[in-house]
Amino acid sequence: MRFDIITLFPELFAPFLACGVTRRAYASGQVQVHLWNPRDHAEGNYRRVDDRPFGGGPGMVMMAEPLARCLAAIRADRAEAEGARAPLVLFSPMGRRLDHAAVQGWSAGAGAVLLCGRYEGVDQRFIDAHVDVQISLGDFVLSGGEIAAMALLDAVARLQPGVLHDEDSHQLDSFNPALDGLLDCPHYTRPEQWQGLGVPAPLLSGHHAQIERWRRDQRLLVTARHRPDLLEAARARGQITRADEELLARSQGLL
């Protein structure tokens, strides 16, 4: 899996790629990351990559030509066969919001070229000619696409075999189909008592079925409280059982 990142600030990625559990994916080459600065493909003494917007207005716009040259260099370096080009992804407010299903899709693929926009944005002509996918992290604006690129890389890397200590641990993440798309349950660790607060009794029982029922109940209650849309989606898929519904009704004082 290979990700090529077009960024004006490649230095931002150095600590990200060397820290945390996902560094294993980058160090081993499971997820290859190549950084490309469009300034290296710009003309003139100043290597200019941006200019004022036509029609006036604040800020600057990333120019199409340096980006096109940078992308051509990436395509050549990847030695892509015709018809097998990696998609070019632009992080943009108009993109589809990144979710678990999308991350799973990217984690099973061969990678992509990630364009990190800056300033007021990217010349629309380059977008129309070259961008295949637009992705958003949510309804807010960042100073650039680098943080969004890191989010995608981290989410994809942790799903690769051998990256996490327990290869099955991501199956218990929030939003995972293994949990019917619900939020994860609360977690506790030592000490058993902390500032007068204890650990729920089922977790200390050693009774596996009782523990799993408690965790299922907590996932349902937490999701109903914080993300009822996820609960409704699971209900529409037929994943909420009669016992689940009875628990939810009791929690609302309906039983």
Which active-site residues does the annotation give?
93, 120, 158, 173
Strand order in the sheet with 111-115: 32-36, 2-6, 111-115, 88-97, 133-136
Using alpha carbons, select from 232, 186, 204 the residue that is nearest to residue 244: 232
Long-range contacts of 48-51 (CB under 8 A, 24+ apart): 49/8, 50/118, 50/119
* DSSP states along 184-217: PPP---S-S-BTTB---HHHHS--HHHHHHHHHH
* One-letter amino acid of 132: D
Whole-angstrom distance, CA of residue 189 vs CA of residue 176:
23
The pair of three-digit structure tokens given for residue 176, joined into one six-digit string: 């995972």
SS3 111: strand
Question: Which helix (H) or strand (E) element contains residue 147?
Answer: helix 146-157
The pair of three-digit structure tokens given for residue 43, joined into one six-digit string: 């003309």
The pair of three-digit structure tokens given for residue 36, joined into one six-digit string: 């490309």
